[in-house]
Amino acid sequence: MKIMKNITSSVIAFFVSIGCINLCCNTNSNANAISTYTYTYECDANNDGDTDFADVITIYQYIAGTYNIVDHDEADFDNDGIISELDCYRLQNYLLNNPVSINPDDTTGSTTHLLNTTKQYYRYSATTGSLLETYNVNAAATIGLTSFGNSSDRSVIGVDERYPDYSHKGICKITKTDGTWATGFVVSENGILTAGHVVYGKKISSITFYDNNGVVEYTPSAVDYSIPSDYSGASPTDYALITVSDLCDLSDYNVFGHGYALDRAIIEEADISVTGFPTDLTYESTGEGRLKNSTSGYNEMKYTCDTYSGSSGSPIYTDLVYNGEHYYIVIGIHTSGKGDYQYNSGVRMCPNIWHLVKFNS
C-alpha cells in the first residue's frame, strides 16, 4: 500500500521547487504567478476560467479541509466520482504534458450539498468523559465563490462475505471502560476518526493497532475527543475526532487518503469496502460491496458491505489504482446497520469533517 501523504508531498514539493506557491496563502493570490495553459481536458476547480496548476493546489487544499470550492464536480479531474489526491496527481502530470488515463466525461449527477458550515464542537476527556470545552470550527473559506431508519446490531446482508484483513495499518480498535469496543482510523499525526456514538458519554480505556499478523503493535493514549454540539446519534452528526497524547506519533499509521464521494459515485454504485473490528469475530475483517443508488439522508451513504456491531467508526473507502499501485481513499464513516438487512449506512465525508481534522492537527 502506498501512503497517500507521499503523493501530496510530491505535488507540493514540485510547486515549492518552482516558486509558485506559499501554502499559507489563498490559492487565488498565487494564480497570477502561474502561466495559463489551454488543454483539451478542463479542470477549473478554483472557478477562475483557466485549467492550470492553481487548480491542483485548490483540489489539494479542498481535500485537506483548508478551503471549500463552488463546483465539486470540477475537482474530479479523472471523472471517477471520487475527489482525492489522485486528481491532484493526474492533473499535475497532465499539465506537465505527461501521459494520463482519464475516464470518459460523465455528467451524471451534480453534487452541490457537501456540508461546509461553521460548526460547534464539545471536547470531552477521553479518560473521565467530562466536558473540557466548547469550541467552534468556522466554515472553510470558499475559493472562486461567484454564487452560491431504525438501526440494528445485525448488519450482515445475505451470505456473510467478510474475511480476515490486517493489511490496513491505519485502522485501530477502540476499547471502552464498559468492555465494549468499536473501530477508528488515523487521519493525522495525532487524530483518529470514528463514529460519534462510539465515544459519546463513554470513557476510552485503550486504542490498539495491530501488525499484519494480528499482533498488537502500538497502543497510543487517548487524551480527548470532539463531537458536534448538535450530535443526534445519526447522520450527518454521528462522527467524532479522538486526539492522542503529544507523546504519541501516528504518522506511520496515516495511510488513508482523504476524499469525497460525488453523487455520480452513488448513482453508479461504486465499489467500496469497510474494514473494522466486529464483535462477532475474533479478528479484524473487511466487507466488500457497493454504494446503493437510493435516496439518503443529508450527507448519509448506504451500501451493501457486511458489517456487525463493533464495526462502527470503520472507514468506508474505495480502492483506486494508478500506475499499478493501490490507493485507499476514505469517503465515509460506518455508523449503523439497518433492520431490514438490505443495506448498511454511514456518514458521508464532507468539508465539515475534514476541516475539523485540519483544525485539530
State the cell numbers at 174. 477502540
Considering Cα of 220, then 223, then 228, then 234, what sign does the dihedral take?
A: positive
Collapsing DSSP states into helix, strand and coil, what is residue 288?
A: strand
Report how far residue 323's alpha carbon sits from residue 334's, in angstroms, rounded to the nearest whole number. 29
Closest CA to 142 of 66, 222, 50, 246: 66
Let me know if 345 is a catalytic residue.
no
Is residue 211 part of the annotated active site? The answer reads no
Helix, strand and coil content of the chain, in percent to the nearest 5, comes to 20, 35, 50
Three-point CA angle 130, 226, 135, nearest 5°: 90
H/E element holding 57? helix 53-63
Q: Which of 72, 73, 188, 197 is catalytic?
A: 197
17 is catalytic: no
Considering the candidates 226, 273, 285, 312, report the single residue annotated as catalytic.
312
Give the E-state strand segments of 61-214 in sequence order: 67-69, 82-83, 119-125, 131-137, 141-143, 151-152, 154-155, 163-164, 171-176, 181-186, 191-194, 204-210
Choose the catalytic residue: 50, 238, 263, 306: 238
Residues carrying an active site annotation: 197, 238, 312
